[in-house]
């Protein structure tokens, strides 16, 4: 399956995600993206830094983060996942061995349902070596 198919079929087509992108783990290359969903280089760089941050209170936890020009407040941040919320919408970002999945969900979707959708794809990709 192509990277674009993962965005279109495994994420957006579920109805739990309305736009998504897949990057390499360094955040230097966009492998696939929903039309019009643009994550700036500085935004993905901050996401990559959050995965490496081992502080008791991570910078992303105290300051939040930006995706596609929107600021999100951090709900969860560890070495695999970063969840953020802005009003009733949010993002679920999950790192695999070789990719970072960035997924936005609309206010009509429960955060846990959206996060589960992204985490399941991440688990699958890890299982097949990505």
Can you tell me whether residue 50 is helix, strand or coil? helix
Can you tell me whether residue 37 is helix, strand or coil? coil
User: Cβ distance 25 to 95 under 8 Å?
Assistant: yes
For residue 17, the surrounding DSSP H or E stretch is none
> What's the confidence (pLDDT) of residue 37?
96
> What's the confidence (pLDDT) of residue 39?
96
Distances in Å between the alpha carbon of 91 and those of 23, 110, 127?
A: 15, 11, 23
For residue 81, give both structure tokens.
Answer: 């996942």
Other Cβ atoms within 10 Å of 51 Cβ, number: 21
> What's the confidence (pLDDT) of residue 55?
83
| Positions in the chain whose pLDDT score sits under 50 | none
């Amino acid at each position: 399956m192509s990277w674009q198919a993962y965005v279109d079929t495994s994420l957006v087509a579920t109805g739990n995600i309305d736009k998504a992108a897949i990057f390499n783990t360094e955040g230097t290359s966009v492998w696939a993206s929903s039309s019009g969903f643009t994550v700036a280089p500085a935004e993905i760089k901050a996401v990559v830094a959050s995965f490496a941050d081992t502080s008791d209170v991570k910078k992303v936890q105290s300051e939040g983060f930006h995706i596609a020009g929107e600021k999100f407040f951090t709900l969860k941040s560890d070495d695999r996942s970063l969840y953020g919320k802005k009003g009733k919408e949010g993002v679920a970002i999950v790192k695999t061995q070789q990719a970072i999945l960035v997924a936005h969900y609309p206010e009509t979707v429960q955060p846990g349902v959206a996060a589960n959708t992204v985490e399941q794809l991440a688990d699958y990709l890890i299982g097949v070596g990505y």
